[in-house]
Amino acid sequence: MQPPELRLVLGDQCSASLSALEDLDPARDVVLMMEVQAECTYVPHHPQKIALILSAMRHFARALEARGVRVDYIRLDDPANTGSFSGEVARAVARHAPARIIATEPGEWRVLAEMESWEATLGLPVEIRDDTRFLADLAFFRRWSHGRKQLRVEFFYREMRRATGLLMQGDQPEGGEWNYDAENRKPLPKGMLPPAAPRFPPDAITQEVMALVAARFPAHFGRLEGFNWPVTAAEAKRALAAFIAERLPRFGDFQDALAEGEATLFHSLISTSLNIGLLLPGDVCAAVEAAYRAGQVPLNAAEGFIRQVLGWREYVRGLYWLKMPGYGATNALAAHRPLPEFFWKGDSGLRCMDAAITQTRDLAYAHHIQRLMVTGNFALLAGLDPLAVQEWYLAVYADAFEWVELPNTHGMALHADGGVMASKPYAASGAYLNRMGNHCARCRYDVKRAEGEGACPFNFLYWDFIARHAQDFAGNPRMAMPLSTLRKMAPAKLAALRSEAAKFLDTVSPLP
Ligand code: FAD
Ligand code: DLZ
């Protein structure tokens, strides 16, 4: 009898089309799936994220078994569990004596480094296959980036439209424009109620996992109750269909909105399903394009959504692998303040911040504008240490894996890569938050005030940030406007704003 091949499936690889499962021989091979402590604790993941992954893994193992595949499934509470991928792969090699190990490249550099050590430590061939679940392979991104001074997502996105033919008419973009972003910036009108996202009540498998997670990780930030994530491909498909029918038509208009009490607005909530492999980006984009072609959704919605999946998602992955290792270690704006306690408690007193943080605690989710323009903007303006902020984002969101979290946090939100990703920092004062949302109306701070009693911290922090980095941004034409306003500001006013900022920061985040 031929020795088996050991096929690995990691927690974010729950896809029937996974490259590690291609050419699998059910009569010979064994699939190894491992719940391990190290992956649950390398950052203190939100309990809903751990429950999502373990539940999706258990459901996926069952689906494989139903197809006649032999699955060696290691549970977190197995007394013999060594707690790490390397330990469990070594035990599995001893159990099955495989001819070789076949894996799909993981989504994080540290796991790839671990996998690459196995050939030497275990003494057998380890084949690490490309992750074919993306629309752009890494070689395509490398070729695209080669020789470019700036890696701007918009140009990558156009290449991807041409390469896939999505929303194209011949070689021209559908409707004549590549990008309808300018039509995607409306605040939510008073009284408009976005439709609720569908419910996915935890089944017996998820409930068992939730009990395990509650017992094992009681100190992790976040609530388990209210868990509502799709854990199978069928559930994820249902989530996508509901989004396309009910929320996508308005996704474009209100993509950048913020609204009190509205955690999800017209967003899709499909990032967890995409990132753990329950949905594939090509299928998602095709379904959205079909809804547009059938006249069910307007072009600004279809294009705005496809831009996120085909453009941003593929771009950040390409950038991550192009720049790793080391991408997350730069600190271009010399930001060193520790993460304020209120990132874990949601009690800053700033209504938009507290809403984003308490919602993150309850749902393991915040939409893009909350992540970028509320918590991310605060971290940028306050000069919070990128490593601490990156760890926070990686821990608290159910969809967070380093390949997608790191470029978004380090590059887009914090500008800590010195502009590799974004041509200017996403810095905004209270006026932006007030224009795009309604939190300010009931906030204890006054968004119209920049200094003095009750002034909105986003205002004085914004001007302190611009002044602090005036030299850094001097040559950047996209920063010309705030720098010009800064130059015209009366010195006494600027001094007052900066002193207000220093007082506030020394209270919430004193320098070590
Ligand atoms: P929608 O608004 O409905 O968008 C549709 C899909 O487009 C998303 O599901 C996602 O797959 C993709 N997408 C949209 N924007 C981005 C983007 N900037 N980068 C990559 N994909 C994108 N996304 C993650 O998947 N994991 C993360 O860990 C993550 N961390 C982030 C951290 C920061 C600081 C910021 C600013 C953004 C981060 N994002 C992350 C991107 C984005 O905020 C989330 O993808 C989105 O909020 C998920 O919610 P949704 O599925 O409802 O998205
Ligand atoms: C995030 C995560 C968690 C919490 N637990 C597991 C696990 O027990 N077993 C597993 O295979 N994967 C888990 N994951 C996902 C991995 O961390 C992920 O595969 C790597 O970060 C690479 O993307």
User: Is there an atom of ligand 1 within 6 Å of 368 CB?
Assistant: yes
CA-based torsion, 233, 235, 240, 244: positive or negative: positive
Note the pLDDT of residue 76: 98
In tens, the pLDDT along 16-45 reads 999 999 999 999 999 999 999 999 999 999
Closest listed ligand to the CA of 273: 1
- DSSP tag of 188: P
Mean pLDDT over residues 397-419, rounded? 98
Q: Please give the Cα distance from 229 to 226 (Å, whole number).
A: 9
With a 6 Å cutoff on the Cβ, whether 267 touches ligand 1 is yes
**Angle, CA of 359, 385 and 415, to the nearest 5°:** 85
- Cα atoms in the 13 Å half-sphere on the side-chain side of 253: 13
Q: For ligand 2, what atom is nearest to the CA of residue 33?
A: 11
Within 8 A by CB and 6+ apart from 300, the residues are 180, 183, 184, 252, 253
What is the whole-number distance in angstroms between the Cα of residue 201 and the centre of ligand 1?
A: 23
> Residue 406 CA: which ligand is closest?
1
Q: For ligand 1, atom 41, name the residue with the nearest CA.
A: 368
Q: Is the pLDDT of residue 415 over 90?
A: yes
Indicate if the pLDDT at residue 307 is higher than 80: yes
Q: Tell me how far apart the alpha carbons of residues 512 and 324 are, in angstroms, rounded to a whole number.
A: 28
pLDDT at 321 over 90: yes
Percent of the chain scoring above 90 in pLDDT: 98
Residue 151 clears pLDDT 80, i.e. is over it: yes
In short, whether 270's Cβ falls inside 6 Å of ligand 1 is yes
Q: Is the CB of 404 under 6 A from ligand 1?
A: yes
> What pLDDT score was predicted for residue 150?
87
- pLDDT confidence of 182, banded at 50, 70, 90? confident
Centre of ligand 2 from the C-alpha of residue 53, in Å: 7
Is residue 181 very low, low, confident or very high in pLDDT (cuts 50, 70, 90)? Answer: confident
SS3 of residue 177 by DSSP = coil
Q: Which among 131, 91, 88 has a CA at the least distance from the CA of 108?
A: 131
Average pLDDT over residues 116-128: 98
**How far are the Cα atoms of 101, 412, 466 from residue 426, in angstroms, in the given order?**
44, 7, 12
pLDDT bin (cut points 50, 70, 90) of residue 424 is very high
Q: Which of 36, 53, 316 should be mutated for ligand 2, with most atoms under 8 A from CB?
A: 53
Structure tokens at 14: 């729950």
Tokens representing residue 144 in the block: 């695209």
Q: Does 505 score more than 90 pLDDT?
A: yes
Q: How many helices and strands, by DSSP H and E, does the chain display?
A: 25, 7
Amino acid at 449: R
Is there an atom of ligand 1 within 6 Å of 399 CB? yes
Q: Residue 11 C-alpha to ligand 2 middle, in angstroms?
A: 5
Q: Which of 134, 228, 308, 403 to mutate to test the pocket of ligand 1 (most atoms within 8 A of CB)?
A: 308
Q: Tell the residue nearest (CA) to atom 26 of ligand 1.
A: 400
pTM over 0.85: yes
Supply angle C-alpha 257, 410, 177, rounded to 5: 50
User: Which ranges of 67-182 does DSSP label H, i.e. alpha helix?
Assistant: 85-96, 109-116, 118-122, 138-145, 153-164
Rounded to the nearest whole angstrom, what is the distance from the C-alpha of residue 389 to the centroid of ligand 2? 20
Q: Rounded to an integer, what distance in angstroms lies between the CA atom of residue 7 and that of residue 17?
A: 13
Residue 149: what pLDDT? 85
- CA separation for the pair 229, 433 (Å, rounded): 29
For 430-483, write each residue's pLDDT tens digit: 999 999 999 999 999 999 999 999 999 999 999 999 999 999 999 999 999 999
Q: Report pLDDT for 183.
A: 78
SS3 call for 90? helix
Pick from 469, 456, 446, 439: nearest CA to 497 = 456
- Averaged pLDDT for residues 266-280: 98
Q: Determine the distance separating the centroid of ligand 2 and the alpha carbon of 73, expressed in angstroms.
A: 14
- Output the pLDDT for position 184: 76
| Domains of the chain with CATH codes | 5-129 (3.40.50.620), 138-197+229-323 (1.25.40.80), 342-508 (1.10.579.10)
Contact 299, 474 (CB under 8 A): no
Q: Is the CB of 312 under 6 A from ligand 1?
A: yes
Q: Are 156 and 315 in contact (CB under 8 A)?
A: yes
Nearest CA to ligand 1 atom 21: 313
pLDDT for residue 185: 82
Closest ligand, as measured to the CA of 410: 1
In sign, the C-alpha dihedral spanning 320, 323, 325, 327 is negative
Question: Ligand 1 centre and the CA of 208: distance in Å?
Answer: 29
Q: How far is the CA of 12 from the centre of ligand 2 (A)?
A: 6
Among the bound ligands, name the one nearest to the CA of residue 314. 1
To the nearest 10°, report the CA torsion of 431, 437, 443, 449.
10
Ligand nearest to the CA of 58: 2
Average pLDDT, the chain: 97
Residue % of the chain over a pLDDT of 70: 100
What CA–CA distance (Å, rounded) separates 383 from 345?
Answer: 20
CA of 365 to the centre of ligand 1 (A): 10
Whether the Cβ atoms of residue 311 and residue 156 lie closer than 8 Å to each other: yes
pLDDT of residue 203: 98
Pairing verdict, β 126-129 and 100-104: parallel
Apex CA 165: angle with CA 162 and CA 167, to 5°? 100
- C-alpha to C-alpha distances, 362 to 12, 51, 340, 398, 440, nearest whole angstrom: 22, 14, 19, 11, 22
Side chain identity at residue 99, one-letter code: A
CA of 226 to the centre of ligand 1 (A): 21
Closest CA to 413 of 396, 393, 431: 393
Q: 3-state SS of 330-356? A: CCCCCCCECCCCHHHHCCCCCHHHHHH
pLDDT band at 271 (very low <50, low <70, confident <90, very high): very high
Predicted pLDDT of residue 326: 96
* CB of residue 115 inside a 6 A radius of ligand 2: no
Give the ligand with the smallest distance to the CA of 33: 2
Sheet with strand 30-34: strands edge to edge: 70-74, 30-34, 5-8, 100-104, 126-129
Q: Is the CB of 307 under 6 A from ligand 1?
A: no
Tell me if 366 CB under 6 Å of ligand 2. Answer: no
In DSSP terms, 253 is beta-bridged to none
| pLDDT, tens digit (0-9, with 9 covering 90-100), for 344-353 | 999 999 999 9
Q: CB-based contacts of 202: which residues, under 8 Å, 6+ apart? A: 55, 210, 227
CB contact burial 83-101 (16+ within 10 A = b; e otherwise): bebbbbbebbbeebebeeb
Q: Which of 176, 406, 440, 414 is nearest to 299 (CA)?
A: 176
Residue 431: in which H helix or E strand, if any?
helix 430-436
In terms of Cβ atoms closer than 10 Å to its own Cβ (0-12, 13-18, 19+), residue 294 is exposed
- Which one of the ligands is nearest to 407 CA? 1
Q: 10, 35, 109: which to mutate for ligand 2, most atoms within 8 A of CB?
A: 10
